[in-house]
Amino acid sequence: MDKDINKDNTILISPVTRIEGHAKITIDLGKDGEVTDARFHVNEFRGFEKFCEGRYFTEMPSITPRICGICPVSHSVSSAKACEMIMGIKPTYTGDLLRRLIHLGQMISSHALSFFHLSSPDFILGWDSDPALRNIVGIAQTSPDLALRGIRLRKFGQEISERITGKKIHIMGIVPGGMGSALTEENRKALLGWIAEATETTLMGIDLIKKYHDQNKEMVNSYANFPTLYLGTVGPQGEMELYDGKLRFIDEDGKILQDQIDPKNYLDYIAERSIDWSYLKYPYYKPYGFGKGFYRVGPLARLNVASKMKTPKAQKEFLNFKAINNGKPVHGTFYFHYTRLIEMLSSIEEAERILKDPKITSEDTLMLGKHNFNEGIGSSEAPRGTLFHHYNTDDSGKLTRVNLLIATGQNNPAMNRSVFEVAKQYVHGKNVKEGALNRVEAAIRCYDPCLSCSTHAIGSMPILIEIKDHLGEIVHVLKRG
Amino acid sequence: MSLNGDKLQNILVIGIGNPLRCDDGVGAYVAEGIEAKGLSGVTVWIVQQLQVEDLERMLEFKRIILVDASISGPSLDFRPIERTAGQVLASSHHLSAETFMSLALSIYHKDLDMHLCSIKGNCFDVGDKLSPQVQEKAQEAVRLICRSLKGDK
């Protein structure tokens, strides 16, 4: 990060790095130089919802993965589910199983990159270390084994998609009714061959983050620690579910506000409001209204709302997570990293179980159907949180309205609050050190936001951090790159 | 530039870009052109971004030629890539060639031999056609790369 103070005594940081997309952070100082407000502005705009109107609904599982190269599977799965509601069909057993498997692969690859490559430089190299080396190359130089393992873990996740569909990103095999391709026995065995290494690497990551927690208790527990509501998908017994389930909202004390809500009814519980300083909307829990109804989604939310995990190793770690706040929700934003790793462990275990299902290599992957209804809603848990696709069609099947409610959008109010909390803690006056601003950036990285997804972004617009004095004048600019 | 002496073994050509964004698809266009020549020992990939998990497979090749659209610089350029200490692109969407070289050296102790063929694009709007000038340069790039692969000057 380059620090630059111009003639107007302005501070600029550009770009905020190691997030997916570009945005701007502004930090307002009072007369005493202390932080009075901070905002996370997203400048990107794409308009996917609008230009999909007029397309035939069955094209959507192929179009929407293009929204994002990191979570294309979640878009495709949610889209296919919405189309299945329009057609009035369900996928075949094997088709559903293959979709689950690809979805888990995406969770592994996305979480592996977020933890090992985007966030671990802060823990391993230090918040105040040389920013030129505080990245994956720095990790490769200081901890080559860890970097290699992180790369290979991501590779495993991508390989699941590749071995089923032939493509590792922007996959095309997920279709209404199931899957357009099957898994061969050779590919099944090859994927099973990864399980031991993937498990070992994830457990190493868990060990790493827990040691960091132990050595930095005060920082971890005070870092953007504030109560919110949480939303996640759960199974019938309240178990954490990533692919298909019902919605659960809990309040800041862990009380279940809504449970086993069919995702088709999401609009009864979630509303959105536009704000004038960002292209990212402010969603909220409708019964509590704007402001009081802000909630979080994603790994921290999913583990906060869940009663248990589905797999043994993840369940063991889940109990350790739950013990952090004596069974109550954990509000510390830094714990996103820990929960991300627990989810990755769970995903590897579940992938192994699916790969051992005798029907996984069946060629009965697809149920055919046609246009029967004019509305479809599908949801899944993307790596960053709950994702909804909602389509309306005319009688010919052409889309008349598309609504995509994206995880990063739902975390937007919380990301703003996190930036504010961390800025208050580390920014004092306009002469801010780079390391302090890195901590502000890292609050955003905890959410692993994908701004391309959430705004359906176009173009390349950098993120800045500006610090303003009590008169609204920009008094400090830090610039990177 | 010549890749003399390699006897067409273990060369990887990677066309990078999005063919649905006009001239951004020039990398794929050139890669397809080279693939159509059927040169022995030459493997061709077409990707939208370079991703970190591609690194292991790239290590299998003696030489890697990246073909990509550029937004500035000469209309056609073909040169070795230098490993630099410049900004590292650390995104899960994309890694730069320089970052790949640094990672390969740190993790695998291998100095990748990478070359870049860049073609300056004029139009990056939605569309699957190259602009006429870029198409002309792309054909020139195919000839240039093939000549170097065969050891011609």
A74 in contact with B, Cβ within 8 Å = no
- Selected residue with higher pLDDT from B64 and B52: B64
Contact B88 A151 (CB under 8 A): no
- In angstroms, how far is CA A379 from the centroid of its own chain? 14
Lowest mean pLDDT among B3-12, B46-55, B60-69: B3-12
Q: For residue A4, name the pLDDT band (cuts at 50, 70, 90).
A: very low
Closest Cβ opposite residue B91 in set A20, A121, A137: A20
A347 in contact with B, Cβ within 8 Å = no
**Residue carrying the six token digits 């690194």:** B55
Q: For residue B42, name the pLDDT band (cuts at 50, 70, 90).
A: very high
Q: Is residue A256 over pLDDT 80?
A: yes
- Selected residue with higher pLDDT from A405 and A168: A405
A154 in contact with B, Cβ within 8 Å = yes
Q: Is residue A328 over pLDDT 50?
A: yes
- Per-residue model confidence as pLDDT tens digits over A62-119: 888 877 667 789 999 999 999 999 999 999 999 999 999 999 999 999 999 889 988 8
Lowest mean pLDDT among A251-265, A398-412, B82-96: B82-96
Distances (CA, A) of A142 to A127, A133, A145, A365, B139: 15, 10, 9, 46, 44
Q: Is residue A396 over pLDDT 50?
A: yes
**Looking at beta carbons, which residues of chain B come within 8 Å of A110?**
92
**Looking at beta carbons, which residues of chain B come within 8 Å of A201?**
none
Q: Is residue B138 over pLDDT 90?
A: yes
**Residue carrying the six token digits 């273990």:** B10
Contact A113 B55 (CB under 8 A): no
Closest chain A C-alpha to B147 CA, distance in angstroms: 31
Task: Give the total residue count for chain A.
Answer: 481
> Can you give the pTM of this predicted structure?
0.86
- Selected residue with higher pLDDT from A406 and A481: A406
**DSSP annotation of A119:** I
What is the residue-averaged pLDDT of chain B? 84
Euclidean distance between CA atoms A392 and A204, whole angstroms: 46
Contact B55 A110 (CB under 8 A): no
% of chain B with per-residue pLDDT over 70: 84
Q: Which pair of tokens denotes residue A87?
A: 């057609």
Average pLDDT for residues B48-57, to the nearest whole number? Answer: 83
Neighbours of A320 (CB within 10 A): 12
Q: What is the ipTM of this complex?
A: 0.73
Task: Kindly give, in sequence order, each residue whose CB lies less than 8 Å from that of residue A409, ignoring residues fewer than 6 positions away.
Answer: A272, A280, A281, A283, A454, A455
Lowest mean pLDDT among A196-200, A277-281, A321-325, A358-362: A277-281
Closest Cβ opposite residue A69 in set B85, B93, B106: B93
A170 in contact with B, Cβ within 8 Å = yes
Lowest mean pLDDT among A85-94, A321-330, A388-397, B99-108: B99-108
CATH class, B11-150 region: alpha beta
Residue A463's pLDDT is: 52
Q: For residue A481, name the pLDDT band (cuts at 50, 70, 90).
A: very low
Q: For residue A297, name the pLDDT band (cuts at 50, 70, 90).
A: very high
Q: Which helix (H) or strand (E) holds A285?
A: strand A278-285
- Selected residue with higher pLDDT from A297 and A416: A297
Main-chain dihedrals φ then ψ at residue A257, nearest 5 degrees: -85, -40
Domain ranges of chain B: 11-150
Alpha helices (runs of H) in A126-194, residue ranges in sequence order: 136-142, 144-165, 185-192
- Per-residue model confidence as pLDDT tens digits over A172-224: 789 999 999 999 999 999 999 999 999 999 999 999 999 999 999 999 999 99
**Looking at beta carbons, which residues of chain B come within 8 Å of A144?**
106-107
The answer to whether A45 and A56 have CB atoms below 8 angstroms apart is: no
Q: For residue A23, name the pLDDT band (cuts at 50, 70, 90).
A: low
Which of A136, A143, A479 to substitute to test the interface with B, most B CBs within 10 Å? A136
Lowest mean pLDDT among A246-255, A388-397, A445-454, B43-52: A445-454
Task: Kindly give, in sequence order, each residue whose CB lies less than 8 Å from that of residue A39, ignoring residues fewer than 6 positions away.
Answer: A25, A26, A277, A278, A416, A419, A420
- Per-residue model confidence as pLDDT tens digits over A36-59: 988 887 655 567 888 899 999 999
Q: For residue A15, name the pLDDT band (cuts at 50, 70, 90).
A: very low
- Selected residue with higher pLDDT from B9 and A396: A396
**Looking at beta carbons, which residues of chain B come within 8 Å of A480?**
87
Q: Is residue A161 over pLDDT 50?
A: yes
**Looking at beta carbons, which residues of chain B come within 8 Å of A22?**
none
A69 in contact with B, Cβ within 8 Å = yes
A vs B: CB pairs below 8 A = 76
Q: Which residue of B has its CA nearest to A17?
A: B90
Residue A118's pLDDT is: 83
Of A169-183, A275-289, A433-447, B61-75, the range with the highest mean pLDDT is B61-75
Rg (CA), chain B: 15
A462 in contact with B, Cβ within 8 Å = no
A137 in contact with B, Cβ within 8 Å = yes
Closest Cβ opposite residue B106 in set A117, A141, A155: A141
% of chain A with per-residue pLDDT over 90: 61
Of A69-78, A360-369, A471-480, B94-103, the range with the highest mean pLDDT is A360-369
% of chain A with per-residue pLDDT over 70: 88
Q: Is residue B88 over pLDDT 60?
A: no
